[in-house]
Amino acid sequence: MSAAPAALVTEHLQRDAVLITGCSSGIGEATALLLARGGMLVFANVRRAEDGEALAREAGDNLRPLVFDVSDADGIERARAAVAAEPGIVLRAVVNNAGIGSAGPLEILPLDEIRKLMEINYIAPLAVTKAFLPLLHESRGRLINVTSIAGKFAAPFGGAYAASKFAYEAASDALRLELAPFGIRVIVVEPGAIKTKFWERGSAAAEAMAAKLPAAALVPYQPYLERFRAVVLDSVQKAIAPERVAATIAKALVAARPRARYVVGADARLQLVLARLPEPVRDAVVRRALGLGTGA
């Protein structure tokens, strides 16, 4: 019997793969484990080698850790080269999930903190997208951007974080139309509160930052910040598991006709309703919830 044509052998050996950023914990970790256990080859971005090793032990042979910082251009390029060099794979999707949080009144939040939020939550995923788009062009694959319901609804004291998410929502809208002629689907996943270390890290970072600010600057806001903290803690207690978001990402990855957006969590759906209310009504609801007066 003659040997099979090389093209057929190559096609037979090809494996579907996905790149996911921010896999050290939370949504990224849950998604990486779900997809790897389902048979897909997962390139999982982590910032520390030990996190990648732990994830690989749990996921098995279908996971390849990629250690790099999403804000580091050289690291992104090394990751792109590593994925491109993997024999017999077809990159079906890039899942931009890595992100950071922060909170505080915009009046006193340091500009460096705001720049950092924009860098990690907007510029970095755009940089990852640009680096891996040539591979998605080849596969006519999917770009899945995990933003937040904060990309639709900006709450008081969360304005800087929301701005970074609004920015990537806007970029996703543009990319969805720009890449459509090439068969690349762009999908946004908008979770609400999730039971992850994200909130703990964000709260600790906010407290550390507040300690560096002039005490007098915080005094006028203190009653409202206390109420805001209580509301956030209450939402975290009711938060959904990251596996819920992972299942939504998996659904978006394989759906024949994926939605442009997937809102995940009851609190996210509630905030989306609030975002669509007339501004006077929305403002009145939020002011009442946080005890914010009008100053009149």
Half-sphere exposure of 62 (CA within 13 A, CB side): 18
State yes or no: is 161 an active-site residue: yes
185 beta partners: 142
Residue 162 contacts residue 155 (beta carbons within 8 Å) = yes
Catalytic residue (one of 161, 168, 221, 262): 161
Q: Please state, in angstroms and as integers, the Cα–Cα distance from residue 132 to each residue in 11, 17, 24, 181, 192, following that order.
A: 21, 12, 21, 17, 27
User: Catalytic site residues?
Assistant: 161
